[in-house]
Amino acid sequence: MPDIVHVTYAQTGQSSNTDPLGMREMQQKAYQARDAQYLLLKAPPASGKSRALMFIALDKLMNQGIRKVIVAVPERSIGGSFTATPLKKDGFYADWSPNPMYNLCTPGMDGSNSKVQAFKNFMANGEPILICTHATLRFAFEELEETAFDHVLLAIDEFHHVSADGDSRLGELLRSIMGKSSAHIVAMTGSYFRGDSVPVLLPEDEGLFTKVTYNYYQQLNGYRYLKSLGIGYHFYQGRYTSAILEVLDTNKKTILHIPNVNSGESTKQKHEEVDTILDAVGEVVSVDPDTGIILLKRHTDGKVLKVADLVNDNPRDREKVVAYLRTVSSVDDLDLIIALGMAKEGFDWPYCEHALTVGYRGSLTEIIQIIGRATRDSANKTHAQFTNLIAQPDAADDLVRLSVNNMLKAITASLLMEQVLAPNFKFKTKLSDDDKAEAGEIKVRGLKVPSSQRVKDIVESDLNDLKATILQDDTMLKTIPGTVDPEVINKVLIPKIIQAKYPLLSEEEVEEVRQYVVLDSVVKNNLMVDVKELKAAIEKDEGIQKAIQGGVPESQINKDLIPKVVKAMYPDLDQDEVRKFSEMAAAEDEPAYSGAESGDKRFIRMAGQFVNIDDLHIDLIDRINPFQKAYEILSKSVTSKVLKVIQDTIEATRIQMTMEEALLLWPKINDFVKTFRREPGLQATDPLEVRMAQAIIFLKEQKRKAQHGQG
């Protein structure tokens, strides 16, 4: 099926270029905050977080009175990102030179006596840098006082593994060190989401951190080679192994993640699943005894593919494969990786073009990390692809409710990724008709101005995290089939989620945050057409320039050539919309291709029609379902029969009517009665009409209870 999300990028090279100190754009931004005692660095995979830490750590060692640096990573394979790195040759004043003796990301148990003792020896001697796993840090911490971490920089990579939950030993360790020592902390993550509802840090702890955020759009837009990213889903029935070749193209460098053995998609025989996939692709020729790499002769053309099996959990075999993967330096060194729990975060294979994942992933962090495996910039690719192969709900299946839930969550995850991948806008209150927006701004009438620093912080750096919480909420998932009025979603359901996530916010602050998260979601989930950009593209179009030079009449250019440019820039426009924007781009005082100045006109599609950005009002935004696209995706992606199964399953656990929702629907019920001269019906095909009918029943019941003193 077509991609749910398809984003193109400008290939500016900006995120890849380096300054005189050898720093890329994100690293420069992080280095500017190097004096902070507690620093939280949020940046996408492949943005250079490891090297950013090296720059900051060396400055703290040499200029800020820090005596030691401890780098903690979630798994041993990621420790390789922090081995010796020459930085002087690119302009920095020192090299990153850890002593290999204190790189504890080596084979063996993370909590072994030898590793814990090595950690304790490091704390007592003059060595400046240690690299270990989160687990080794936890075991060693149990044998040390917090004061041992005075004047120490503790760097925690893949920080989303920390949790404010009392059962999180790493989270407890972090809070203890922050409270009882003078340690500096750098926390790094490619994603700040968690698969559950537990926050990474308590609000009072999080407030102590200086935040540096570098978003996905900045990263991918600044690449040299990668031009586009697609996110798609493929639905199957039966066993996934029988459908795998429908989505696995072995001409593309691919990481294939098979389902967790505890998931519904798994056959519970993970090794047999790998064998079945290999047999479907080709014939095993041999297994390299030194590297563990499988040589597979492809059925279709006889080409020999190099396959890494990371599902094999024999320690000796896996270490061989992992060691080989660290040495991959050419596009021809590897073709396919089959993995289960590995090859997600901190794993680097720049040549990867396709991340193919079987089964729904409950953690948004995991999805972002997997996508990040395919979004490294490399000369061998211009497009990166993420595909999720998930089970299609079947009414005859006992697990139909689970399948429906997984499908809805997978689709909402893709919508969140679209939000993360889109460019950011600054939203400001529009005060008058003369109050014009600057580049990168959108001004909206009726938009509240943040009244506190906490609201400003949430709006500036936490909106995606808040959207993740909203999209993962079970009640919100039930709204996807279009059964709940948009204003109920925006004014009743979303504020409750905000209040639960940020319990210290006042009612006024909750409303301010609500406006911004709904506005940001609506704008990013709907197509925006910029007439100024259209005019620029028309002026540069070679076909139009040749037509002008050849004396082709202006009317013919407007009719035949300009619509082609419009459709190429905005392929989602229908025929009438292409015609409308072609006329707009060709109109004004001078033709678009004459080089004349034109006004900056942006239009956004809302509820099926385009609205001028200048006319946006928060009341209009509140009438739009911020996640309407999820239903559109659902209705286009599955058959009407499957859609009915989904709707029936949700109906069985529908959202309970509340007085807030009923009162919000009452004016709409009155409008409905005036228009159709009847009350909304419970048997209607329109789910919103059914919901209004349910509201009438609810209000009548509440009235009856009040009359009989049961309220």
Q: What is the CATH number of the domain that holds 31?
A: 3.40.50.300
For residue 115, pLDDT beyond 70: yes
Q: Convert the pLDDT of each residue in 228-250 to its tens digit.
A: 888 888 888 788 888 899 999 99
Which among 200, 658, 262 has a CA at the least distance from the CA of 469?
200
Give me the mean pLDDT over the 17-44 stretch: 92
Q: Convert the pLDDT of each residue in 449-483 to its tens digit.
A: 999 998 998 898 788 888 888 887 888 877 876 77
Same domain, 676 and 551: no
8-state DSSP, 85:
B
User: What string of DSSP letters covers 23-45?
Assistant: --HHHHHHHTTTT-SEEEEE--T
Q: Is the dihedral of CA 680, 683, 686, 692 positive or negative?
A: positive
For residues 258 and 354, what is the distance between their CA atoms, to the nearest angstrom?
14
Q: What band does 514 get if pLDDT is binned at 50, 70 and 90? A: very high
Q: What band does 348 get if pLDDT is binned at 50, 70 and 90? A: confident
Same domain, 601 and 694: no
Place of tokens 């002087």: 88
Same domain, 155 and 293: no
Q: What band does 650 get if pLDDT is binned at 50, 70 and 90? A: low
Q: What band does 380 get if pLDDT is binned at 50, 70 and 90? A: very high
Q: What band does 191 get if pLDDT is binned at 50, 70 and 90? A: low
List the structure tokens of 537: 């593209």
For residues 141 and 687, what is the distance between their CA atoms, to the nearest angstrom?
56
State which of 236-240, 519-523, 569-573, 597-601 shows the largest mean pLDDT: 519-523
Same domain, 374 and 238: yes
Residue 642 in any domain: the answer is: no
For residues 569 and 581, what is the distance between their CA atoms, to the nearest angstrom?
11
Which residues, in sequence order, are CB contacts of 93 under 8 Å at separation 6+?
58, 62
Residue 385 in any domain: the answer is: yes
Q: Would you mind telling me the total number of residues written for the chain in this entry?
A: 711
User: Is 653 in a helix, a strand, or coil?
Assistant: coil
User: What string of DSSP letters covers 578-608?
Assistant: HHHHHHHHH-SSS-GGGT------EEEEETT
For residues 254 and 251, what is the distance between their CA atoms, to the nearest angstrom?
9
Give me the mean pLDDT over the 161-183 stretch: 78
Q: Name the domain boundary from 169, 192, 214.
A: 214
For residue 435, pLDDT beyond 80: yes
Same domain, 200 and 235: no
Residue 573 in any domain: the answer is: yes
Query: In this structure, are residues 650 and 483 in contact, taking their beta carbons and an 8 Å threshold?
Result: yes
Q: What band does 385 get if pLDDT is binned at 50, 70 and 90? A: very high
Q: Name the domain boundary from 347, 365, 391.
A: 391
**Strands, sheet with 184-189, edge to edge from the N-terminal-most edge strand:** 129-133, 68-73, 152-156, 184-189, 38-42, 210-213
Same domain, 538 and 586: yes
The continuous run of DSSP H or E covering 184 comes out as strand 184-189
For residues 42 and 214, what is the distance between their CA atoms, to the nearest angstrom?
6
For residues 396 and 4, what is the distance between their CA atoms, to the nearest angstrom?
27
Q: Name the domain boundary from 568, 603, 619.
A: 619
Give me the mean pLDDT over the 178-201 stretch: 73
DSSP bridge partners of 367: none
| Strands 210-213, 38-42: pairing kind | parallel
- How big is the CA angle at 476 (ends 340 and 518), to the nearest 5 degrees? 105
Q: Using CA atoms of 235, 249, 323, 379 in order, give the dihedral in degrees to the nearest 10.
A: -120
Specify the pLDDT at position 57: 97
Name the residue with higher pLDDT: 551 or 215: 551
Give me the mean pLDDT over the 271-279 stretch: 94
User: What string of DSSP letters covers 517-570?
Assistant: HHHHHHHHTS-EEEHHHHHHHHHH-HHHHHHHHTT--HHHIIIIIHHHHHHHH-
Q: Is the dihedral of CA 536, 541, 547, 552 positive or negative?
A: negative
For residues 410 and 432, what is the distance between their CA atoms, to the nearest angstrom?
42
Name the residue with higher pLDDT: 460 or 421: 460
Q: What percent of the chain has pLDDT over 70?
A: 87
For residues 476 and 114, what is the distance between their CA atoms, to the nearest angstrom?
50
Q: What band does 611 get if pLDDT is binned at 50, 70 and 90? A: confident
Same domain, 242 and 267: yes
Q: What percent of the chain has pLDDT over 90?
A: 36
Q: What band does 516 get if pLDDT is binned at 50, 70 and 90? A: very high
User: What string of DSSP letters covers 419-464?
Assistant: HHHSPP-EEEE--STT----TTEEEEBTPPPP-SHHHHHIIIIIHH
Query: Quick one: 671 exposed, middle or buried, by C-beta within 10 A (0-12, 13-18, 19+)?
Result: exposed
Q: Convert the pLDDT of each residue in 73-97 to its tens digit.
A: 988 878 888 999 999 999 999 999 9
Q: What is the mean pLDDT of the chain?
A: 84
For residue 397, pLDDT beyond 80: no
Same domain, 188 and 230: no
Same domain, 61 and 163: yes
> What total number of domains does the chain contain?
4
For residues 158 and 703, what is the distance between their CA atoms, to the nearest angstrom?
54
Specify the pLDDT at position 595: 44
Residue 175 in any domain: the answer is: yes
Residue 444 in any domain: the answer is: no
Which among 184, 162, 160 has a CA at the least distance from the CA of 173?
162
Specify the pLDDT at position 647: 65
Alpha helices in 64-212 (DSSP H): 113-124, 134-141, 169-180, 203-206
Query: In this structure, are residues 422 and 217 in contact, taking their beta carbons and an 8 Å threshold?
Result: yes
Which among 675, 633, 651 has a CA at the least distance from the CA of 235?
633
For residue 66, pLDDT beyond 80: yes
Residue 480 in any domain: the answer is: no
Residue 643: count other Cβ atoms within 10 Å of its Cβ. 17
Residue 649 in any domain: the answer is: no
Query: In this structure, are residues 328 and 255 in contact, taking their beta carbons and an 8 Å threshold?
Result: no
For residues 679 and 84, what is the distance between their CA atoms, to the nearest angstrom?
74
Give me the mean pLDDT over the 34-42 stretch: 93
Same domain, 551 and 699: no
Query: In this structure, are residues 572 and 582 in contact, taking their beta carbons and an 8 Å threshold?
Result: no
Residue 486 in any domain: the answer is: no
Name the residue with higher pLDDT: 294 or 537: 294
Same domain, 243 and 309: yes
Residue 284: count other Cβ atoms within 10 Å of its Cβ. 14
Give me the mean pLDDT over the 386-406 stretch: 70
Same domain, 288 and 208: no
Name the residue with higher pLDDT: 11 or 602: 602
Query: Can you give the residue range of the structural domain that contains 57?
Result: 17-214
Q: Convert the pLDDT of each residue in 282-305 to its tens digit.
A: 999 999 999 999 999 999 999 999
For residue 545, pLDDT beyond 60: yes
